[in-house]
Chain A
Amino acid sequence: MIVLRDSEDEAALRSALHQLFAKYQGNVPNPAGTSADRAALWAQLIEMGVLAMAAPDSSGDHATLTQLCVVAEEAGANLLSAGLVEHLTVARFLGTADFEVAHDIVSQSVSATIALRPSQAGCWPTVPISATPSLVVGVHHDALGVLRLSATPAGARALGPLQVCDVPVDENRFVRLGPAAQLQILLDHWRVLSAAYLIGASDVVLARTVAYVGDRHQFGRPVGAYQAVQHGLADLPGMLSGARLLVGKAAWSVDCPELQPANDLARNDITDPEVLASMALLFASDMANSVADRAIHYHGAIGAAAETGIHHFYRLVRSLPLLLGPISSQRRRLADLLVGPAWNFH
């Protein structure tokens, strides 16, 4: 049976990261305006070995996906960490397959990202580059490969705390790593870690909203004393816990490859990592959307004010899941995995 709570190691990791991310308060206020804070946070992440932990150490061991979920969830509390999920995803993939380039990540503290969709007309569309990566892993011409960037590509756009840009694939620098189908492994790990990131972010925003409605008075009472507000908030902790449990189960299914993957709807017995990864991101997105919606609304107008910073979270929640494609396509892909592909609609 899956483990529902942190092991001792995971708890120690969580506590260390919790302090680190709290120190640079990035969820709010404005992450875009604090590049010095951002640089300081990333310097600390390198110093603590967080960037290297997904790749194998000298004895060949690397972090489990469950441990990386702890990192991603804690990082979600601080949006200056945007880009960490992509980096961990790529580092883990390169490290477990023992690719040469994985050593650069460890020895040179290089940061990496993932092109979530295959190249179109020689260009990877909407690549997350929030952490100014030097390596991009993606699919080009039916092969999964890695591209070293000599400079950040032009045309970067901000989506709240995320930075994205189209990355032209230079044929001469593109190094083939394996068949294109291997991208799915990367994407599944990205889904699980992104879900964990959304959970960490949602947790902070929910706590902030609960504190606000306890403090803000109207008609002589805290607005949090009104049942209409209480009930809107009371739906959220169960969704948040549910998302966290689903992420934990998905990570566990990846970390235990010896398990026979099951997809039994009739017994609600699902242990297939692909299915669980897909569910984890879709459910966490749904939850984070609910949290964002109520957080902004229960703050009143101040919740929509740029200075308050909740809009960074809102933009994150709206943007991150869509980088993979339309939500409806993601749900249909999940249905394909659960009940087999459809034959009449394509």
Chain B
Amino acid sequence: MTSEQQAFRAAVQTAIQAVGSDEIRQSVIETGVAHDARLNRALADADLLRLAVPGPDRDPVLVHLLFSEMEKAAMPYEGIAVNLLVAGILESAGTDIQRRQVVAPMLNGEKNICLGYSEPDAGSDLTRVSTRARYDGGSWRISGQKIWTTLAQDAEWMFTLTRTDAPNDSDASRRRDMTMFIIPTGSQGVRIDPIPMMGGERVNAVFLDDVVVSDDGRVGEVNQAWSVMTLALSLERGVLGNSQLAVALLAHTVDWFAATRNERDVPYIDDPTVREAIAAIAMDNQVGALLGLRAAVDRDSPAGVAGSQVKLFVAERYVRAARLLQDLCGPAGLFGQEVPAAAANGLVAHHVNHSPLTRIAGGTTEINRNNIAERLLGLPRAR
């Protein structure tokens, strides 16, 4: 590690320690919101958000370090990840006005943006987006519905994929006829409804009813949203978190195993089956971290392939780890923190309920497998 990278990591650790991490961890589980304004502000005040904006001329290791430190401390980072991703996109594809009015307040830790990609009929296949944007008398009028929109309730803007032309039935046409906008969520005609998820997470449905957006809100050229999406993929590259999902879970559960006796009055930690599980999960955690680091620094492989490998491996192993630990904990693994006997203060149950979503959000396991099969292994396109 260079001295700049070491100093950066130390500064991230200091900022996390300064905001009182126990309280934040607790709040994430209680509210289901994976963002904390104090943490965001503390990182911004130390100038760490600005240093971790991903981009072609930036050090990807800094981005990796910011997120891996937050993951190890079990800090909520989803909002920060989206803010930095969009900041990176706007640094390359945005306008000066957008950099001044949107990027600057995000990097100051004052304001957030959310991603308006998915729709009820467009999940993994975003070429099916039907939210419509029409140019009318010098501004745009946008109508449609977005869904699974994480953190929309805390966001000043939504980075929104829209359809700007009626496509014919070809993939190329569907990709071509889309345009990206930054929509202020406070605009007239925007409605945000919460959707509670099985792990207690809050996501949203966002309804857009003839929302007026000035042309200053357009990102990239008209009908060129797909090139913005491709840029986003190249910036994301598996470095914005999600490489150490089971680290805090394992550490807290090991502490519980050491402090608790099983039905034979033997400490859980002395049970050979428990010990084998700890070894296996610790191995997967190491491999996930190394794959994440490689995705950060590897610029040789085809777009998104290294990121797909991290996401696929880490999310699948995380689901497996959470359930394996719950099986070993017995009934204590079933309860949340409100039950005193809950394993690891309710963390085991929380991770069992939260983990399935991680292999769907941000690119499903199946989409990542398609990407690896086609772009890395060179197999024929199966869709």
Q: Which residues of A contact B (CB under 8 A)?
A: 1, 4, 210, 213-214, 221-222, 224-227, 230-231, 233-235, 237-239, 241-243, 245-246, 249, 265-268, 270, 276, 279, 282-283, 328, 331-332, 334-336, 338-339, 342-345
Bound Cα distance from A89 to B72, whole angstroms: 36
Q: List 14 A-B contacts (CB under 8 A).
A: A210-B377, A214-B378, A227-B370, A230-B379, A231-B369, A237-B372, A237-B376, A238-B291, A239-B313, A242-B291, A245-B290, A268-B247, A279-B282, A335-B275
Select the stretch in B96-104, B181-189, B264-272 that faces chain A: B264-272
* B379 CB → nearest A CB, Å: 5
Bound Cα distance from A233 to B372, whole angstroms: 9
B290 x A242 contact (CB < 8 A): yes
Interface of B, helix, strand, loop or mixed by DSSP: helix
* A190 CB → nearest B CB, Å: 18
Interface centre among B244, B254, B287 (most CB of A within 10 A): B287
Given contacts A224-B380, A226-B382, contact A268 B279 (CB under 8 A): no
B251 x A246 contact (CB < 8 A): no
Those of B283-328 within 8 Å (CB) of chain A: 283, 285-291, 293-294, 297-298, 308-310, 312-313, 316
Interface centre among B251, B290, B298 (most CB of A within 10 A): B290
* A272 CB → nearest B CB, Å: 11
Bound Cα distance from A249 to B21, whole angstroms: 30
Q: Which residues of B contact A (CB under 8 A)?
A: 1, 5, 61, 72, 244, 247-248, 250-251, 254, 258, 266-267, 269-272, 275-276, 278-280, 282-283, 285-291, 293-294, 297-298, 308-310, 312-313, 316, 366, 368-370, 372-374, 376-380, 382
Bound Cα distance from A51 to B371, whole angstroms: 41
In the complex formed, the residue of B with least CB distance to A238 is: B309
A276 contacts across to B, CB distance below 8 A: 286
Given A1-B1, A214-B380, A241-B291, output 10 extra A-B contacts at Cβ < 8 Å: A4-B294, A214-B378, A225-B379, A227-B370, A235-B316, A235-B369, A239-B287, A336-B275, A342-B272, A345-B271
* A236 CB → nearest B CB, Å: 9
* A134 CB → nearest B CB, Å: 36
A233 x B377 contact (CB < 8 A): yes
Bound Cα distance from A225 to B383, whole angstroms: 9
Interface centre among A238, A283, A344 (most CB of B within 10 A): A238
Interface centre among B294, B310, B366 (most CB of A within 10 A): B294
Given contacts A4-B297, A328-B276, contact A241 B267 (CB under 8 A): no
B380 x A222 contact (CB < 8 A): yes
B287 x A246 contact (CB < 8 A): yes
Bound Cα distance from A234 to B241, whole angstroms: 22
A234 x B369 contact (CB < 8 A): yes
A234 x B373 contact (CB < 8 A): yes
Given contacts A222-B380, A339-B275, contact A344 B266 (CB under 8 A): yes
B285 contacts across to A, CB distance below 8 A: 265, 268
**B373 partner, pick from A221, A231, A245, A332, beta carbons under 8 A:** A231
Bound Cα distance from A233 to B248, whole angstroms: 30
Given contacts A245-B290, A266-B72, A268-B286, contact A344 B309 (CB under 8 A): no
In the complex formed, the residue of A with least CB distance to B372 is: A234
Bound Cα distance from A168 to B104, whole angstroms: 75
Bound Cα distance from A226 to B369, whole angstroms: 12
